[in-house]
């Protein structure tokens, strides 16, 4: 729904910005692009006909204003832009995921061109590349033997802080693997696309993808240099899609207790503004692939490192 109130000449620039931020288009403005998936997709929250209507409305509303996307924690497993690519799959097995993001200035509603967008996430087993030695979600390898005897004192080294993969300080990589990580630039419409696989899960977190947006840098032969990080966030999946993915290998072999979207301590619970993706897939054949899209409203002049 669009706020049709028009600011008067007497209103300040700040008031105009507030009005722009209150103008929200919940359906998003990035049309789903079918890439290599040969079936008719039904939206996870509606029928195929409804999905077509939504895509048409999204196309017609290109350039509409959005709310500012929530800033969230970076997590411990970010590796700075050393893989400039759109296909981040490498040899990882899983449901094909085609991710389309549109990055806009939340104040002016204009697309952010030539921004660098990073994504990274765990594989179907909950492992992050670069941190394989740390195990699922960076939690390490559990001990092989159970403790014996009875405790004689109160433990003094109980774990504290957020669950694995949530907040906390940055961890140095343990290996040279870089699957399911990549950086690419937005086009003149603010769009950027990635080919990956549907993420798995690990203890303490719901299914998610990490994302960063960098602005005011320069693309050179060596990659993206300079600039600053204007957005750090996470992208989330609704429970219907996750439950369907859990019936498909290799996800079905992931026996780790899964945290639901509602149980997650990092998802802000505010829908697309908090990173909840719009999804399209065949409910009866999700293994064929999933299309995900979202518009990220950012403040290009701000620094948000997560």
Mind listing the pLDDT tens digit for each residue in 29-84? 333 333 333 333 334 443 333 343 344 334 334 445 668 999 999 999 999 867 89
Question: What are the helix (H) ranges across 133-287?
Answer: 239-245
pLDDT of residue 156: 40
Q: Which of 6-15, 89-98, 128-137 has the lowest mean pLDDT?
A: 6-15
Given a cut of 50, whether residue 133 has pLDDT beyond it is: yes
Highest mean pLDDT among 2-6, 19-23, 208-212: 208-212
Write the CA distances from 28 to 54, 66, 77, 104, 235, integer angstroms. Answer: 9, 8, 29, 12, 14
Mean pLDDT of 134-144: 56
pLDDT of residue 258: 96
- Judge whether 182 and 86 are in contact, CB under 8 Å: yes
Residues found in the chain: 306
pLDDT of residue 65: 65
Residues 6+ apart with CB under 8 A from 287: 95, 248
Average pLDDT, the chain: 78
Q: Report the SS3 class of residue 93.
A: coil
Given a cut of 80, whether residue 93 has pLDDT beyond it is: yes
**Residue of higher predicted confidence among 15 and 287:** 287
pLDDT of residue 246: 98
Q: What percentage of the chain carries pLDDT values higher than 90?
A: 61
Nearest Cα to 178, choosing from 128, 133, 135, 136? 128
- Judge whether 273 and 296 are in contact, CB under 8 Å: no
Given a cut of 90, whether residue 196 has pLDDT beyond it is: yes
- Percent of the chain as helix, strand, coil, to the nearest 5: 15, 25, 60
Name the one residue in this structure whose structure tokens are 């996870």: 44
- Taking the CB of residue 137, how many other CB atoms lie within 10 A of it? 26
pLDDT of residue 23: 35
**Residue of higher predicted confidence among 196 and 57:** 196
Residue pLDDT, tens place only, 244-297 = 999 999 999 999 999 999 999 999 999 999 999 999 999 999 999 999 999 999
- What is the pLDDT confidence band of residue 99, given thresholds at 50, 70 and 90? very high
- What is the pLDDT confidence band of residue 306, given thresholds at 50, 70 and 90? confident
pLDDT of residue 201: 98
Element at 53 (helix H, strand E): helix 48-60
pLDDT of residue 168: 56
Q: Token pair for residue 43?
A: 């939206």
pLDDT of residue 2: 35
Q: Token pair for residue 265?
A: 């301590």
pLDDT of residue 138: 63
Given a cut of 70, whether residue 20 has pLDDT beyond it is: no
């Amino acid at each position: 729904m669009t706020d049709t109130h028009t600011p008067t000449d007497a209103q300040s620039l700040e008031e105009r910005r507030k009005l722009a931020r209150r103008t929200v288009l919940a359906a998003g403005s990035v049309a789903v692009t079918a890439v290599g998936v040969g079936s008719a997709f039904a939206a996870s929250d509606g029928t195929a006909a409804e999905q077509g209507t939504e895509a048409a409305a999204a196309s017609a509303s290109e350039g509409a204003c959005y709310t500012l996307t929530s800033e969230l924690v970076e997590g411990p497993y970010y590796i700075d832009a050393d893989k400039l690519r759109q296909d981040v799959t490498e040899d990882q097995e899983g449901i094909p995921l085609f991710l389309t993001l549109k990055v806009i200035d939340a104040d002016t509603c204009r697309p952010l061109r030539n921004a660098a967008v990073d994504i990274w996430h765990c594989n179907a087993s909950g492992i992050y590349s670069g941190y394989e030695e740390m195990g699922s979600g960076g939690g390490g390898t559990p001990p092989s033997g159970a403790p014996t005897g009875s405790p004689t004192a109160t433990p003094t080294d109980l774990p504290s802080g957020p669950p694995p993969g949530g907040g906390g300080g940055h961890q140095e990589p343990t290996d040279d693997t870089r699957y399911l990580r990549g950086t690419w630039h937005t086009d003149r419409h603010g769009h950027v696309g990635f080919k990956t696989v549907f993420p798995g899960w690990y203890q303490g977190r719901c299914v998610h993808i990490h994302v960063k947006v960098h602005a005011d840098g320069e693309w050179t032969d060596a990659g993206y240099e300079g600039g600053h990080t204007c957005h750090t966030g996470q992208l989330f999946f609704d429970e219907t899609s996750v439950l369907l993915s859990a019936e498909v290998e290799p996800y079905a072999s992931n026996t780790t207790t899964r945290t639901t979207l509602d149980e997650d301590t990092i998802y802000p619970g505010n829908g697309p503004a908090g990173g909840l993706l719009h999804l399209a897939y065949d409910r009866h054949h999700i293994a064929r692939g999933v299309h995900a899209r979202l518009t990220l409203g950012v403040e290009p002049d701000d620094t948000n490192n997560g």
